[in-house]
Structure 1
Amino acid sequence: MKKQISFWAIMILMSSSAWACPVCERNQPKLLRGWTHGAGPDGGFDYFIVIAMVIIAVISLILTLRWIIRPGEKNTHHIKRYILNQEGYESEK
Structure 2
Amino acid sequence: MRKFKTILISLVLFSYAPFGFACEVCKSNQPKMLEDITHGQGPQGNVDFLITWTAAILVGFTLIFSVKFLVMPKENRPDHIKNIILE
| Range into which the TM-score falls when normalised by the shorter chain | 0.7 to 0.9
Higher-Rg member (1/2): 1
The 1-side partners of 2:84 and 2:18 are apart by: 50
Identity %: 33
Shift in Å, 1:77? 6.4
Q: How far 1:19 moved relative to its partner?
A: 1.0
Give the match for residue 28 of structure 2: 26
Letter in 1 for 2:74: G
**Distance in 2 between the 1:26 and 1:8 partners?**
30
Where structure 2 has 5 or more consecutive residues not aligned to the other structure, the ranges are: none
Unaligned runs of 5+ in 1: 86-93
TM-score (norm 2): 0.77
* Aligned-partner Cα distance in 2 for 1:62–1:22: 36
Q: For residues 10 and 70 of structure 2, what CA distance do their matches in structure 1 show?
A: 26
Q: How many residues align?
A: 83
